C-alpha cells in the first residue's frame, strides 16, 4: 500500500502468495503448491523465486513467521511457517477490490461476457 493511501498493484508472485496465505499458515513448499493450484498451473514458482519473494514480503511486513505449527508431531521441526500480517491482509483486500472494479468496468463496457 502506497503512502498516500492508494493501493499499489502487487506483482503476480506477491499477490498469489498473499492469496495462498489467506487460507491459513503455510510453509514454503505448501505456498508454492497452493500458488500453482490457485493460478490453475499458470504461475509456477521455483524455490529460488519463492524465497526471494518471501524475503521481500517479510521486509515489507506483508507476511511474518508464524510461531504456531499446524501439526508439530507430523512435521519437520526445521520448517518455518508463514502467515499474513494485518498489512498483508489489507494489501490483498485492496488488490482484490481493484480487480473487482476492473471487472465491473469491463462488464459495463461489454468487454467481458456476463456470467
Rule CB under 8 A: say whether 78 interacts with another protein.
yes
Are the C-beta atoms of residues 67 and 35 closer than 8 Å to each other?
no
According to the binding rule CB under 8 A, does residue 55 interact with another protein?
Answer: yes
Q: What's the min distance (Å) between Cβ of 29 and another protein?
A: 4
Using CB under 8 A as the binding rule, whether residue 49 contacts another protein is answered as yes
Alpha-carbon span 66 to 18, nearest angstrom:
14
Sheet order of strands, 26-27 included: 26-27, 81-84, 63-66
Work out whether 50 is an interface residue with another protein (CB under 8 A).
yes
48 touches another protein (CB under 8 A) = yes
Please check whether residue 27 is in contact with residue 77, taking contact to mean a CB–CB distance below 8 angstroms: no
Question: Least distance (Å) from another protein to the CB of residue 94?
Answer: 24
3-class state of residue 69 by DSSP = coil
Interface residue with another protein, options 29, 42, 99, 111 (CB under 8 A): 29
Q: Does 18 bind another protein (CB under 8 A)?
A: no
CA distances (Å), origin 18, targets 103, 105, 106, 115: 20, 25, 25, 26
Q: Of these, 51, 66, 87, 98, which contacts another protein (CB under 8 A)?
A: 51
Kindly list the residues in this chain that would bind another protein in the complex (CB under 8 A): 27-29, 32-33, 44, 46-52, 54-56, 76, 78-80
Amino acid at each position: 500500500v502506497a503512502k498516500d493511501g492508494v493501493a499499489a498493484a502487487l506483482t503476480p508472485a506477491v499477490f498469489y502468495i498473499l492469496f495462498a496465505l489467506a487460507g491459513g499458515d503455510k510453509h514454503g513448499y505448501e505456498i508454492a503448491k497452493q500458488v500453482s493450484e490457485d493460478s490453475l498451473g499458470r504461475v509456477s514458482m521455483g524455490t529460488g523465486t519463492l524465497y526471494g519473494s518471501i524475503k521481500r514480503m517479510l521486509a515489507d511486513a506483508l507476511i511474518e513467521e508464524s510461531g504456531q505449527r499446524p501439526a508439530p508431531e507430523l512435521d519437520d521441526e526445521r520448517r518455518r511457517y508463514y502467515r499474513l500480517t494485518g498489512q498483508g491482509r489489507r494489501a490483498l483486500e485492496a488488490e482484490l477490490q481493484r480487480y473487482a472494479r476492473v471487472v465491473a468496468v469491463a462488464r459495463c463496457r461489454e468487454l467481458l461476457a456476463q456470467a
